[in-house]
């Protein structure tokens, strides 16, 4: 550039906009406001779904009551091998929960070994339980199943007998297990 032009440019005042900076338009702010509102709504929904404490589940009824309810539902069923299997499962579940045994399937001999090893169970009741479970096993595994005789009624009587024979030690263990949800 020629020196004359440089001197003319250096004498010029600095150019500034005629007004200050323009504020953001409503459209530009609206997008951010909508995104913020959507974020707050999403956060509230997440908190509502997973953040609030849940009420504790209702306590389970005692094992004898659960077994009786299950047996009552089977009361008018025809005497079949399937009924004997289901009644045996209910009685086994009752004995496992009352005696605080693991929830795995035990054979009749294993279950009876656990029952006999526990103190306080009447020998006649344990023998009646073993006979009942062996009879159910016979019905379950027989080629043509032999006729069953009042399986549900006998199971209910067996549970009532077991309840009357079991000592207070098992009552407190069962109460503690039902409170802890096990």
**pLDDT reported for residue 50:** 81
Structural domain spans, the chain: 63-180
Residue 182: the pLDDT is 41
Residues 59, 61: Cα–Cα separation, whole Å: 6
pLDDT at res. 90: 93
Q: Write down the pLDDT at residue 88.
A: 92
Under-70 pLDDT residues of the chain: 1-10, 12-13, 17, 26, 143-149, 166-182
Please report the pLDDT score of residue 87 as a whole number.
Answer: 92
Between CA 125 and CA 134, with CA 128 as vertex, the angle to 5 degrees is 140
Which is nearest to 177 in space by CA: 89, 101, 72, 86?
Answer: 101
Compute the distance between CA of residue 114 and CA of residue 100 in angstroms, rounded to an integer: 10
pLDDT for the residue 148? 55
What is the Cα gyration radius of the chain?
A: 39
Cβ neighbourhood burial of 166 (10 Å; 0-12, 13-18, 19+): buried
Quote the pLDDT of residue 146: 55
Q: How far apart are the first and last CA of the chain?
A: 93
For 155, phi and psi rounded to 5 degrees?
Answer: -65, -40
Other beta carbons within 10 angstroms of residue 92's beta carbon come to: 19
Give the whole-angstrom CA distance, residue 115 versus residue 113. 6
Return the DSSP state at 150: S
Tell me what pLDDT residue 76 has: 85
- Look at residue 56 in the predicted model and tell me its pLDDT: 87
Neighbours of 84 (CB within 10 A): 23
């Amino acid at each position: 550039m020629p020196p004359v032009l440089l001197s003319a440019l250096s004498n010029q005042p600095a150019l500034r906009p005629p007004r200050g900076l323009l504020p953001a338009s409503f459209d530009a702010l609206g997008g951010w406001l909508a995104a913020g509102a959507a974020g707050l709504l999403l956060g509230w929904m997440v908190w509502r779904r997973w953040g609030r404490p849940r009420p504790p589940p209702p306590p389970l009824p005692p094992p004898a009551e659960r077994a009786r309810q299950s047996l009552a539902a089977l009361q008018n069923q025809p005497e079949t091998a399937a009924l004997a299997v289901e009644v045996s499962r209910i009685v086994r579940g009752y004995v496992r929960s009352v005696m605080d045994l693991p929830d795995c399937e035990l054979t009749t001999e294993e279950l009876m070994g656990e029952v006999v090893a526990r103190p306080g169970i009447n020998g006649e009741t344990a023998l009646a339980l073993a006979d009942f479970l062996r009879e159910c096993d016979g019905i379950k595994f027989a080629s043509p199943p032999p006729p069953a005789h009042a399986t549900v009624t006998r199971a209910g009587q067996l549970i009532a007998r077991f309840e009357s024979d079991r000592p207070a030690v098992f009552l407190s263990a069962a109460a503690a297990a039902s409170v802890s949800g096990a």
